């Protein structure tokens, strides 16, 4: 399923890349990274957070005026947001040059969007553990006292 999503995304980006103006140089830029992020998993028991990761490879060939993208395991939210944002940008000729940075910005923004909630969840868990430990110590002191 993830392969099919990546393939569909590559097809969308391939269509976008054909819309770029042609340039006749041999320069190209490549970027590859893996973003790990936490996402709520919806489970009733156990850890409510799961570590997810998405790998992105991006190459821009200036001479051809085209982009090559590989996305491995993009989130459902990223995939749906990409389709929406990419179609809006491609409809506006003046914004087409921003497509390469759009995907990186979106990927980082969505990946980091739940980080604050994750940290708050960890904080709540630590407070709960500290309070329950203090309660146990207090009960032992009362029983011994």
pLDDT at 117: 93
Averaged confidence pLDDT in the chain: 76
Q: For residue 44, what are the CA distances in angstroms to 37, 119, 124?
A: 20, 19, 17
pLDDT tens-digit readout, 29-88: 898 999 999 999 889 888 899 999 999 999 988 777 788 888 899 888 888 887 787 777
pLDDT at 52: 92
Confidence of residue 13 (pLDDT cuts 50, 70, 90): very low
Share of the chain above pLDDT 70, in %: 72
Degrees to nearest 5, angle at CA 34 with 33 and 40? 150
List, edge to edge, every strand of the sheet that includes 28-40. 28-40, 49-61, 66-72
- Cβ density class 101-112: b for 16+ within 10 Å, e for less: ebbeebbeebbe
Question: CA 34 to CA 107: how far, in whole Å?
Answer: 10
Whole-number Å distance between alpha carbons of 97 and 100: 7
* 128 token code pair: 């709960």
The 3-state DSSP class for residue 46 equals coil
Residues 6+ apart with CB under 8 A from 23: 62, 63, 65
The ranges assigned to domains in the chain are 2-113
């Amino acid at each position: 399923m993830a392969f099919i999503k990546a393939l569909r995304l590559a097809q969308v980006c391939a269509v976008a890349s054909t819309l770029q103006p042609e340039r006749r140089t041999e320069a190209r830029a490549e970027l590859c990274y893996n973003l790990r992020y936490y996402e709520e998993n919806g489970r009733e028991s156990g850890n409510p957070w799961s570590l997810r990761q998405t790998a992105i490879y991006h190459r821009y060939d200036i001479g051809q005026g085209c982009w090559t993208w590989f996305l491995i395991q993009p989130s459902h939210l990223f995939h749906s947001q990409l389709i929406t944002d990419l179609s809006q940008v491609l409809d506006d000729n003046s914004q087409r040059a921003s497509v390469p940075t759009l995907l990186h910005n979106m990927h980082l923004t969505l990946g980091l969007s739940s980080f604050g909630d994750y940290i708050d969840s960890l904080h709540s868990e630590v407070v709960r553990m500290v309070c329950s430990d203090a309660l146990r110590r207090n009960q032992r002191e009362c029983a011994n006292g």
